[in-house]
Structure 1
Amino acid sequence: MKRGWKILLTISLALVAMIWSLPTAQAAKTAENNVGYTVRPVLPANQITKKVSYFDLRVKPGQTQHLQVVVANTSNRTQKFRISVNQAVTNNNGVIDYSQLSPKRDSSLKVGIADVFTKNATQTVTVPANGQKQVSLSYTMPAKKIRGVILGGIYIAQLNPENAKSDGQIMIKNAFAYAIGLSLQEGATVKPDLRLDRVATAQINARNYVTANLQNFQPGILQKLTVNARVTKAGSNQTLLSQKQGQMGMAPNSNFNFGIPWGNEALVAGNYTLYLTAKSGDQQWQFVRNFAINGPTIKRLNRHALTPTQPNYLLYLLLVLLIVILLAIIGYLIYRNRHTPDTK
């Protein structure tokens, strides 16, 4: 009987090892993928908020200033980095994004990061192993005073050289990146404000959506935004689609597409109504917009859309089979123990 329990214990331990092998391997992989560098801003005297790791600057019309960023290479090999100053935008997840080199300019943006920083702001620097380099970036404010905030980010991208070309040239590929926020403000803080632009249909990652384009048309940062939206047939109060999302943010003078997934609904061509409520702190906005979806659009979207995810029945079957095998082994061991003559 003891031998049988040893076999059962061995099988159980093997199963536990199989279950934990994937996360363990992933943790090991994460440990190996150390980025190998750090960045920090050298905060100047006109920094508004002192104990932060980004630039929050009080500036004046016509002011020119040189900003310093220190890139420290903590690895044992020479590394290259691309440093750029990017306009802050809002991505379709409702997150302020500093990573886009040439984002589409929002129609409400009068003065952006690209208007104040020098044309050679984007640069590539080489930092020796276990060394560091101080990088300088310059901006000049417009002569006329501006309202609100110009928001951007200093984006430091680690570059990995790869011998990807047969002629001996080096292809540079992004590996990892940091963003240091950059806020330039001359006067009083301006409250953000929202408006609903266009309502459309789109396909994102092979899923169908109704999208509501929300625009923050003021030079103020929008934080802790919650959006609650629903779609009905025109003239009906029955909700066909709905989506609620909170803890979002929007850059000044930016827009993004809030997505309402179709899910299992098979929408047909016709007229629909969007009801959308947005809230941030003590500010609240309500929008109602009629829109239409035509037959060709429905056909085009459905042609390439993935069907809703189905349960993984094969996995469930394998788990049931594993349990049956374990029960069979336990039953066999108990049976053999009861029917084996005592030799003592």
Structure 2
Amino acid sequence: MAVKQRFWGIVSVAVGLLFGVMCGPVQGQAAKTPSNNIGFSVSAQLPENQRNQDHSFFDLTMQSGHQQTIKVKIANVTNRDIKIKTGINTAYTNDNGVIEYLAAPKQLDQSLKFQLGKLTKLKGKSIVTVPANGSKVVEAQIEIPKLTFNGTMLGGWFFQKIDEKVTSEVKDAMTVHNQYAYVIGLKYSFGQTPSPKLTLSQVKSGLLNHHQSTIAELRNPTAVIIPNVSLATTISNRSTGKPVKTITKNGVQFAPNSSYHYGLLTGSDSLKAGNYHLRMVAKNSAHRWVLEKDFTITKAAVKQTARKSVESHQLNPLWLVAAGAMLMLIIGGLVAWLVYLVKRRQA
């Protein structure tokens, strides 16, 4: 049976949108050498309401009730036709503390009232064929409803090359399918920019990437990007006041109106059951927030997450030692038995 592995080659996804500093999605150019195996490039056709013509992503000034068609040119630099899958998603903050433009969000923050991915729709099919050594222009329609809104809507328009189907398989062979994608950022700006805000909604024991974790849920309930945030966290025993853990993380990017599930401690470092106090200082070059919360980790919560985590499926080193000792006893017993049989036969 062939073992099929799927790898995402996420190429040229520059993450940088303008908020005081440059930190958002910038469309990149595909290398046109045969060795890179990409074979295509994308470029945004910037409209008149582009805020900055030096940006190669869509950085658009918007207003209530606005309708507009935006276009992207896909260039095929190979000698064969290629198929490109395309789609538009709302941006969010992923579990690594990075703004995610490529994948669709599994869960949205309750403060997000307007999803860019729903206000911007593809015109035509989601899979297009680009002719050999040719190009194709694809379009999307923006439909902004009548609304009262100040701030930023953020998303990404992705372009993914579809591999050709494998027509035959070799027994016990390994086939690897590489998928290459570009993302062009979509940033819609309305009215006045609100002041950014960060809140700490809860701290709990849970699973993060299938690992037992102590998770702090941070929220950006404002319609602005909050870039380059450093987080300095101290967790103390609530009874004694003594620090239990100190954790730091730098370079966190918050998408507008999004939540960040920050894995403070994972695996064996996760907190045991008890009562704790968390103090976090979050800051960047323009803002500083001090967030504090009392929280309790229950034995039931620890037991439940431990049972579902990957750690529970790993062998305990003590069991390995015990198994090794038992194996040695068995081998020693067999050797002794064989020596006994040989001596008995000689006698």
TM-score by length of 2: 0.72
- Residues 28-67 of structure 1 show CA distances to partners (whole Å, capped at 9, x for unaligned) of xx98443211111001111101111101111222111110
Higher helix share: 1
Larger Rg: 1
Match of 1:292 in 2: 296
Could you say if the C-alpha distance between residues 192 and 91 of structure 1 is closer, same or farther in structure 2, counting changes exceeding 3 Å?
same
Provide the secondary structure at the position in 1 that maps to 2:213.
strand
> Which region of structure 1 is more displaced relative to structure 2, 157-166 or 40-49?
157-166
Provide the secondary structure at the position in 1 that maps to 2:192.
coil
TM-fit CA distance, 1:254: 0.6
TM-fit CA distance, 1:288: 1.5
- Which residue identity lines up with residue 214 of structure 1 in the other structure? L
- Residues 217-255 of structure 1 show CA distances to partners (whole Å, capped at 9, x for unaligned) of 010110111111122222333222232111121111011
The counterpart of 1:212, out of the listed 212, 216, 221, is 216
Answer whether contact 2:108 2:259 (CA < 8 A) is retained. no
Higher strand share: 2
Answer whether contact 2:265 2:271 (CA < 8 A) is retained. no
Determine if the alignment matches structure 1 residue 270 to structure 2 residue 286: no
- Unaligned runs of at least 5 residues, structure 1: 1-29, 167-172, 311-344
Provide the secondary structure at the position in 2 that maps to 1:296.
helix
Match of 1:247 in 2: 251
Identity of aligned residues (%): 31
- Which residue identity lines up with residue 229 of structure 1 in the other structure? T
The counterpart of 1:189, out of the listed 184, 193, 214, is 193
Match of 1:110 in 2: 113
Determine if the alignment matches structure 1 residue 97 to structure 2 residue 100: yes
TM-score by length of 1: 0.72
Aligned counterparts, 1:310-329, within 5 A: none
Could you say if the C-alpha distance between residues 144 and 216 of structure 1 is closer, same or farther in structure 2, counting changes exceeding 3 Å?
same
Match of 1:34 in 2: 37
- Counterpart CA distance in 1 for 2:38 and 2:200 is 40
Could you say if the C-alpha distance between residues 145 and 34 of structure 1 is closer, same or farther in structure 2, counting changes exceeding 3 Å?
same
Provide the secondary structure at the position in 2 that maps to 1:118.
strand
Answer whether contact 2:122 2:141 (CA < 8 A) is retained. no
Answer whether contact 2:123 2:138 (CA < 8 A) is retained. no
- Counterpart CA distance in 1 for 2:70 and 2:142 is 8
- Counterpart CA distance in 2 for 1:122 and 1:232 is 55
- Counterpart CA distance in 2 for 1:270 and 1:219 is 36
- Counterpart CA distance in 2 for 1:205 and 1:217 is 24
Provide the secondary structure at the position in 1 that maps to 2:164.
strand
